[in-house]
Structure 1
Amino acid sequence: MRSETGATREELKSWSLRTAVDCDVKMGPLRYDSSHTILIKVNDFKPDRKLDPADGRPKWDASHVKMPYSKENIFMSKSTFWKDTEKQPRWDVISKHLKKLHKGSPTVADIEKAIMAYNPQYQDSWSFAGLQRYVQKIPSQESIFSQVIPKIAQLALRLPEWVRRAIPLLQQGRSHAITLSQMQIATLLANAFFCTFPHRNTTSRNAEYAEYPTINFSSLFGNPSNMVMEKLRAILQYFNTVTCETSQPSGLVTFQRCCIPDAQLPDWRGKDELLGNIRVTFEGTIEKEGRGLLQVDFACNLVGGGVLGSGLVQEEILFLMNPELIVARLFTEKLNDNECLRIKGAQQYSEYSGYSKSFEWSGSHHEDLPRDNWERLQRQIVAIDALNFKHPNEQYQKNKIKRELNKAYVGFREEDHSPNELPTIATGNWGCGAFHGDPILKGLIQMMAAAVAKRDLIFFTFGNKLLKNDLLKIYTLLKERKLTVGDIYVMLEFYCIERARKQDLDLCSYVRTYTMNSPL
């Protein structure tokens, strides 16, 4: 038994985990190409690290984000004299009302009036009860509402100035990256806060953006639950930071959709890699103790999950602590089985305690991570979505296991770097909460995917000592018996057959029996 692979928090500190800083990968020069859209002027960035917005204009088509200030974004207003309709640029209406919020000391009623002025069709369906309860509930000594709302309005108004180049949609079946400055993200999120993005207010099946997450904040404002109160505390803390001259962020963030064609996915039966270096701990969290590692976002296929709704588990918490991630919802189409989303450079703005209903925002976070030579913070996050097993026994089927292996592999693999340039993966109970995944099976799947991707892995069991012990026993047995990933895949195929006959067959016990009977 290799007990050194499991640890308490103190032992965890002594482990040698390869971080992004340790890898110190020097990127090539920042440059435009067909698979990478950059929203700043590259020539100004190279010598002086300036983050000036790249020239261009928005595009109003099915391949790009439809921007609030586009000339095609038309508002139909009623003429009071002739009781007829008149066309005018919607941005004119938006600007008029945001300027009022910027100049005054706005109340929730003022915000509602402004938002509904350019979204009149939702007059009877949108509520601002959540935002109103936030204002009433937050202690006066903590409240930043009246000070920060005018600043968010001013930030939103700067969108045409700061984001000029068309933003492509990260669509299914195509690998593509978008790099933009943190302040460009801030102005985009300020517009999401005031619900200005056109065609993004419905998720009905036939809607234009049915395959995209919501981005406008209307769904958040209408929910008066305690959990939403905590979400608003984190979001307003973010805006308070980015609108203060002394704390404005000054780097870049890259969002990259990665797609591996099915023909290039591994033949799992034939993989001869042995399991790599695996650590397991019941203490610590991915975002704190996994700082600087490749942090796995237990994602929904619509990235961000319920961050702008009622959801508040691992992915939503990650997006609230690092709100720049929320902008991915603006341009990332629903992930397919062979796709992931990578984010490099997102900043953490808040601390928290608890989980789900016990979640609480606990204050601002001081970010001290170093930056790479593209001025991105050394934080790497990968969003991979697990299957939702409404009937848990479905996960013990060969095709379901293969799907999860492929998804984890897509998230873990980075073909442009050698293994010693890749930080350790920080992961845990991926898809094991509301999605009903078996944590032993998911742990084994991620170990296999990491081995084929040639990366080390640390698994956080989130306080579950029994799970830690079980995973360590399995890992140790498989290492001692020198089973390859292909051998383990065959073992899981046999387990699926046996499980179909005996649905209470324990996976840990089966692995123990199988490995002890396998030849050395």
Structure 2
Amino acid sequence: MEMKTLLPLRSSGSSYEWAVGVQRVLADLSRGPAASRVKSGENLFDCILEMRHETGMQDYAMPENASRGLDLFFGKLLPQNLAREFFHTTLPSMAKLALDLPNLLDEHVNKGQLYGFGVEHRLRVLSSQEPGIVMLSQEFIACLLTCSFLCLYPSQDRDKYNLPGINLNKFYACIYEKNHDRASQQHKMLCLLHYFERVCQGMPHGMVSYERKVLLPWQTSDILRFWSTSRVPLCKFQVSATGDISNHIGGEALEVDFANKYLGGGALRAGCVQEEIRFMTNPELIAGMLFLPMMEDNESIEIFGAECYSKYEGYGKSFTFVGDHQDERPRDQWGRRMTRIVAIDALARPGAQQYKSVLILREVNKAFCGFLDRHGGEDVGVATGNWGCGAFGGDLELKSLIQWLAASQAGRAYVKYYTFADPRAQRLEEIVEWMSRESWTVGDLWNILLDYGSKREAGVIDCGLFEWLRPVTGLRALFSQLTSIFSRRSSV
């Protein structure tokens, strides 16, 4: 699939340009309300429609409530001094950024550079089952996100190629619609406006890389035996009831995004849980939605360098933007902030089926794909938590141990597990301490999980995994199973 079919520009050979009408509107916007007459949400929506018409895009992709959402936000929800600042200062600067898209695109499409990984990192679609990396400058990302804000991307082919939506039109509609929580949507919008204000006042000059990671066939052949016979020791596992993944303490770590299979999930719609919140505080993550199609079961997406711009409090309906965040994480030799975020999608609402061996295998392979590092970062830990255990309905006890054995097999130095004070994780630390003290391996834990899953699926037991594993009262029940496991292992 060619990148040019996803872009709002006209292409002629290897060069790109705005349609004449769009260039005129953007030029007016860049000179402020005196030239553009755009000083309200309603005016802005009309301006967006005009530019879409100039590029030949249809109106069906622009719900009527998008106009009402913009009008409500800039007319009532946002303090008028801030609305005036946006229309007189930030929006003109954003328009100047958008006008520069053809030049920036030419640099990133036709003049891809070689970085330290030995491959060319130009802007392109990273299709399913195609491992690769795209490296973008933060300035180019700001330009791409401005086009999202102005709803300038064509949308007709995105579903066809399993790409998530990238325009903000549905997000604007969610601000207005009563079936969504307006307060959380308002604060998501505040995060985005703060990002644009920051980059327009002082453009960062670093880089962000977007990588599609794929478990190749050689890594999945005879995979059951691979897991059951692994002698890799379980890595360190730290449990914390406080704190969160994005602000982990104790060393550099790969931070897990509890992702939707479509990168970003509901970030540009009504969603406001873990993944969506991270995409609001680190908006450069959103750019990956432009060119990264849906993840398959053997795929993950790692984004390295996305800067954090906003502080927040709360979660879901209580999510609140609370101000500016100055990201002080160091940069690597290619200018990327030392922030590694990996998107792995859990099974959605699997119910009792999640105890089947084939689905346990799916989850451990997904986590293993995400935690693997082909670029020499194995000594980095993993910061994670209750992956897929909220709206997706996963069993926290099962999923926490799946992540532990996947991180261990991937060679990670440690797992820092944030429980978010979830009572279901009450016994996790006790279980981890016991297994660590007994020097369990990946294979030991894997075989126990399969044994538990088969008994749970067959209805032989109905207790939780931790209760079944309980080190004190459960030792007798486990003795014969462990003896059998160790016997099989010694015979391999």
Fold match, TM over 0.5?
yes
Higher helix share: 2
**Counterpart in the other structure of 1:98:** 26
Change in Cα spacing, 1:330 to 1:418, as seen in structure 2 (3 Å) is closer
2:437 corresponds, among 453, 457, 480, to 480
Q: Distance in 1 between matches of 2:377 and 2:41?
A: 52
SS of the aligned residue for 2:363 comes to helix
- Indicate which of 155, 160, 167 corresponds to 1:208: 160
* Maintained 8 Å contact 1:94/1:196: no
- CA distance in structure 2 between the partners assigned to 1:157 and 1:63 by the alignment: 19
In the TM superposition, residue 472 of structure 1 has moved relative to its aligned partner by 1.2
Q: May I ask how many residue pairs the two structures share in their alignment?
A: 434
Structure 1 stretches lacking a partner, 5+ long: 1-60, 74-88
Is residue 2:67 matched to residue 1:128?
A: yes
Tell which deviates more after alignment, 183-192 or 126-135: 126-135
Q: Which residue of 2 aligns with 1:151?
A: 93
From 401, 404, 408, the equivalent of 2:367 is 408
2:41–2:73 contact (8 Å) kept in structure 1: no
Q: Secondary structure at the match of 2:95?
A: helix
Instruction: Give the structure-1-normalised TM-score.
Output: 0.79
Match of 1:55 in 2: none
Cα distance change of structure 1 residues 503 and 101 upon mapping to structure 2, 3 Å threshold = farther
CA offset at residue 330 of structure 1? Answer: 0.2
Q: Name which of 251, 256, 264 aligns with 2:206.
A: 251
Task: Tell me how far apart the structure 2 counterparts of residues 430 and 101 of structure 1 sit (CA, whole Å).
Answer: 43
Map of 2:239 onto structure 1: 280
Which residue of 347, 354, 378 maps to 1:395? Answer: 354
For CA contacts below 8 A with separation 6 or more, give which structure has more relative contact order.
1
Deviates more, 1:482-491 or 1:455-464: 482-491
Post-superposition offset of 1:447: 0.5
Which residue is 1:507 aligned to?
465
1:412-462: per-residue Cα shift (whole Å, max 9, x none)?
11133264xx32110000001110011111100001001101111100001
Structure 1 counterpart of 2:451, one-letter code: F
List per-residue Cα deviations over 1:286-331 (Å, max 9, x = no partner). 0112584211011111100000000010000001000000000000
| Percent of aligned pairs sharing the same letter | 33
Distance in structure 1 (CA, Å) of the matches to 2:377 and 2:136: 26
Counterparts of 1:306 and 1:443 in 2: how far apart (Å)? 24
Structure 2 vs 1, CA of residues 70 and 208 (structure 1 numbering), >3 Å: closer, same or farther?
farther
Matched, 1:294 2:249: no
Q: Which runs of 5+ in 2 are unaligned?
A: 110-122, 177-181, 487-492
Partner of 1:4: none
| Equivalent residue runs for 1:59-208 within 5 Å | 61-62=1-2, 66-71=6-11, 91-105=19-33, 106=38, 107-120=40-53, 121-122=58-59, 125-126=63-64, 127-135=66-74, 136-143=76-83, 144-146=85-87, 147-164=89-106, 165-166=108-109, 167-198=123-154, 200=155, 207-208=159-160
Shift of 1:498: 1.4
Backbone CA RMSD of aligned residues: 2.1
Question: Does structure 2 retain, via aligned residues, the 8 Å contact 1:259–1:339?
Answer: yes
Could you tell me which of 189, 211, 219 is aligned with 1:264? 219
1:262–1:338: 8 Å Cα contact kept in structure 2?
Answer: no
TM-score scaled by length of structure 2: 0.83
When structure 1 is superposed on structure 2, of 425-434 and 223-232 the one drifting more is 223-232
Match of 2:112 in 1: none
Shift of 1:467: 4.1
Distance 1:415 1:104, change over 3 A: closer
1:212-265: CA deviations, max 9, x gaps? 011111111122222211111000000001111xx2211111111111114313
Contact 1:353 1:360 in 2 (8 A): yes
**1:445 equivalent among 370, 394, 402:** 402
Match of 2:179? none
CA contact (8 A) 1:276 1:450 kept: yes
- Kept in 2: contact 1:254–1:343 (CA 8 A): yes
Given that residues 384 and 418 in structure 2 are in contact (C-alpha distance below 8 angstroms), is that contact kept between their aligned partners in structure 1?
yes
Instruction: Give 1:141 shift.
Output: 4.5
Secondary structure in structure 2 of the residue aligned to 1:287: helix
Question: Helix, strand or coil: the match of 1:222?
Answer: helix
Kindly report which structure 2 residues correspond to 1:337-376, keeping only aligned pairs within 5 A, or say none: 337-376=297-336
Structure 1 stretches of 4+ with a deviation exceeding 6 A read: none
